[in-house]
Structures are given as structure tokens and as C-alpha cells.
Amino acid sequence: MISLANPTRFLELVRIVLPWLTGLTVILFAVGLYLSFFVAPPDYQQGETVKIMFIHVPSAWLAMMAYTVIAIAALGSLIWRHPLADVAGKTAAPIGATFTFLALITGSLWGKPMWGTYWVWDARLTSMLVLFLLYLGLIALWEAIDEPSRAGKAAAILALVGFVNVPIIKFSVDWWNTLHQPASVFRMGGSTIDPSLLAPLFVMAGAFTCLFLLLHFLAMRAEILRRRVGALQQIEAQRAAA
């Protein structure tokens, strides 16, 4: 029961934070979408199509951030054996996969009118697709191993091995020449996006981050409760047998 102490505190934290986080997410999305669609000017080259950026770029950031969260959780479960780390890693995978999928789809819809194609096999697009496959592998591994502690360790090892892909995604546009444009926000010498377009992008990024945290907290809470129910059922079964 000692190992449940931390999850208990976590559940308490979630109970307090959840209403605030929900409110913040709703407000940020309302403001961000309003700025994106009614305030932000069209781009001088791309016109109104540039608005796909406000969904595409935050999704891609969150896709990488979710994997980073999984990798940190993997360290937590392998080195410190923190009971929450397994739960955090397991529940972040489907959310990250969804954001990756969203980034791929919106990118594809953006690519057709701008580049003239839905898909090319350049380094950025390929490494992002590999990230999606890595997420699928992690989810499948969690599904395949019944025993939670072994599944946690196995998934943590796989997550750390796959982490090499994250810097490859980030720097693919700098290391190789790609059809995808180079970094425009986090780069040496400041952003190359005009403030009038950058502001809605950051608000949307904040909204996506809050959404990720919200979903992750909810999923973690569900997973902790699921494990508790499982443990209680086991105790009950043992008592019935005895």
C-alpha cells in the first residue's frame, strides 16, 4: 500500500487542478481560434491557407513533446522505479499518436495547395511518420504484455531506444535539404514569422499544451483507478478462494 501513496497524492492534485485546467483550455482555444480565423492576416505568399499552420504546428510540437514526456517517464520507471512513471508513459502514448496523426493529416492538406502534393518522402515527413510508427509500437507493446510491471519496463526500454528519432525530426530540415521549410519559430537569430501571425500561433500552442495536460491527467487518473480496481478484485478473489 506504500506504493499507492504517491498516486493518491496525484489524484488529489488532479482533483484540485482539473477544473482550472479545463477552464484555461477552453478559454485559450476560444481566444486562439478567434485570433486564428478572424484576426490573423493572410500570408503574403500563401494567403488564407497559412491558417492551417495554427493547427499543424502546435500538433507537431505536441507530438514531439508527448514523446519526450514518455522518454522522461521511461527514465523515471527504469531508474527511480516511480510508480507514477509507468502510468504517465502508458497514457501519453495514445495522446501523442493522435497529435502526430493530426500533424501528418493537416500537413498533407497544407502540402497539396502549397507544394502541389499531399506527400513527399523528404527527411522531415519521413521522420514524423516514423514517430507515428514508434507510438503504434509502444501502444502494441503495452497491449501485448499482461503483467503491468514488465510491460512498463519493456515499454520504457523501447521508448528510450526510439527517442533518437526526436532530435532527428527537429533537425532534419537543417541537416538535409528538404521540401519542408526550415524552422521558423525556434531558430538562431529569432523567429521569421511576423508578430501578427506569431501571436495566434503561440496562443494555439498554449491551448494545445493545456489540452494535452488535461487529457493526460484524465487518462492517468483513469489508469490509476483501473489498476486499483484490478488490485481490489484480486484481493477479493483471494478472499473468496480462502
Q: Which of residues 108-147 bind another protein (CB under 8 A)?
A: 113-117, 120, 122-123, 126, 130, 133-134, 136-137, 140-141, 144-145
b/e 2-14 (16+ beta carbons within 10 angstroms → b): eeeeebeebbeee
CA 84 to CA 76: how far, in whole Å? 9
Residue type, 202: F
Out of 42, 167, 235, 236, the only residue in the binding site for another protein (CB under 8 A) is 42
> Nearer Cβ to another protein, position 109 or 193?
193
Residues in contact with another protein, total (CB under 8 A)? 52
Q: Which of 9, 81, 150, 226 is in the footprint of another protein by CB under 8 A?
A: 150
Please give the residues from 153 up to 172 whose contact with another protein meets the rule CB under 8 A: 153-154, 157-158, 160-162, 165
d(CA 70, CA 92): 6
Give the three-class secondary structure for 178: coil
Q: Which residue from 38, 44, 80, 186 is in contact with another protein, where contact means CB under 8 A?
A: 44
Residues 6+ apart with CB under 8 A from 198: 185, 191
Q: Residue 194 in contact with residue 202, Cβ under 8 Å?
A: no
Q: CA torsion angle for 231, 144, 67, 27 (degrees, to 10)? A: -60
Amino acid at position 241, single letter:
A
Query: Of 31, 179, 199, 213, which lies in the binding site for another protein, with binding defined by CB under 8 A?
Result: 179
Nearer to another protein by Cβ, of 194 and 236: the residue is 194
**Closest CB to another protein among residues 29, 115:** 115
Look at the block and give the residue holding cell 506504493: 3
Helices 165-175 + 123-144 axis angle, to 10: 170
176 binds another protein (CB under 8 A): yes
Q: Which span (13-21, 179-187, 211-219, 234-242) binds another protein, by CB under 8 A? A: 179-187
- The CA distance from 39 to 172, in Å, is 32
Residue closer to another protein (CB basis): 131 or 210:
131
Nearer to another protein, 154 or 213 (CB): 154
Residues that bind another protein (CB under 8 A): 41-46, 49-50, 53, 78, 113-117, 120, 122-123, 126, 130, 133-134, 136-137, 140-141, 144-145, 150, 153-154, 157-158, 160-162, 165, 175-179, 181-184, 187, 192-194, 196-197
